[in-house]
Each structure stands twice: as C-alpha cells, then as structure tokens.
C-alpha cells in the first residue's frame, strides 16, 4: 500500500519560518490576489496585521501547491481544497456532534487542563467559528457546506483513527 504523508499544521509552521528567516527572496512564486469579496467589506487593506495575515496565507498556499506538485499527500485544513482546485483534489469534511467533540478533547487534551463542560463547549464553538471565518474569508464559500466536498464524514460514533485506513484504501 502506498503511504500518503499527512501535512496538517506543518504547513503553517513552514510558512512562518519562511517569512521570518533571513531569506530575502523566496524561490516559491507568489501567485495570489485577494478574494473578490474583500473589496465589498470593511477590511482595512492598509492594516499591517491584516497584511501579515494575507502574507502568511500566501506562503501557506505556495507550500501547499509545492507539496501537491511533489506527490500525493493529505492536507488538513488551510483552505487546501480551494488552493488546489486546479488539481481536482478529493475533498473530505469531517464533523461530529458537540458531545463527541467534547469527549475527544477530554481524551486528547492536556491532563492539567480541567475545563467545565460549559467552558469546553465555548472553546470548541470558538474554534469552529474561527475556522468558519478563515475558510469563508479566503474562499468566499461557507465552511462545512456539503456542496464544497466530495465526502462528508460524521465521526460522532466512530474512532477517527479507524477511518483513516478505510479512506486511504480508496486511493492506494
């Protein structure tokens, strides 16, 4: 079976290290334009924090394209479905109900982090809202909309790690 390497948060870290390294010019071409809907909003294009956010996105997009050009890979998040649309990637959206998300967070989270159910629910909802804003800002599409994906997986009653080999078998 062919092994497909995952590329989740490493893309963000690689983009950040490229931005802040002493490299004065990148060998990666920056082919990007702000989404059309930016001009119809109140975003301050002259804002340094906003410009830095755009720069990080541009670097991530270049890294994601480079990874996809090199070999098959799995990229989690970062609007990769939109960035790689010319590759026609297989787009999977994984979701679960709140109780299942809370259970997974308690199992995987640091032992010293003891949040009440209400606090954990708020934290998860906040993260989901940030994901939605990020995705909608850069793609112009609603986050989690089934029309933007080829496969939507409800992991409410499933162990995610058990699903990975099944999905990988479809492509290997």
pLDDT at residue 37 in the model: 55
In degrees, to the nearest 5, what angle opens at C-alpha 109 toward C-alphas 125 and 153? 55
Q: What is the pTM of this model?
A: 0.71
Per-residue pLDDT band at 78 (split at 50, 70, 90): very high
Q: Quick check: 30 pLDDT over 50?
A: no
**Residue 41 Cα distances to 34, 35, 110, 121, 143, angstroms:** 12, 11, 39, 30, 18
Question: Which runs of consecutive H residues, i.e. helices, occur in 71-172?
Answer: 80-83, 98-108, 117-139, 160-171
Q: What is the 3-state secondary structure (H, E, C) of 68-88?
A: HHHCCCECCCCCHHHHCHHHC
| Predicted confidence (pLDDT) per residue in 49-59, tens digit | 778 888 899 99
Domain with CATH 3.40.50.300 in the chain: 92-172
Q: Quick check: 96 pLDDT over 70?
A: yes
Topology of domain 92-172, per CATH?
Answer: Rossmann fold (3.40.50)
């Amino acid at each position: 079976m062919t092994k497909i390497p995952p590329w989740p948060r490493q893309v963000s870290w690689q983009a950040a290290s490229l931005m802040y390294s002493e490299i004065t010019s990148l060998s990666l071409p920056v082919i990007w334009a702000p989404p059309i809907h930016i001009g119809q909003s109140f975003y301050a294009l002259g804002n340094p924090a906003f410009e830095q956010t755009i720069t990080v996105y541009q670097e991530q997009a270049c890294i994601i394209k480079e990874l996809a050009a090199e070999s098959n890979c799995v990229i989690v998040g970062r609007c990769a479905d939109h960035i790689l649309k010319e590759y026609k990637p297989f787009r999977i959206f994984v979701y679960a109900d709140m109780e299942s998300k809370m259970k997974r967070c308690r199992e995987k989270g640091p032992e010293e982090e003891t949040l009440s159910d209400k606090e954990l629910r708020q934290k998860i909802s906040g993260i989901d809202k940030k994901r939605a804003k990020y995705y909608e800002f850069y793609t112009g599409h609603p986050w989690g909309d089934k029309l933007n994906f080829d496969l939507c997986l409800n992991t409410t009653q499933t162990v995610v790690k058990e699903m990975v080999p099944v999905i990988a078998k479809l492509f290997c």
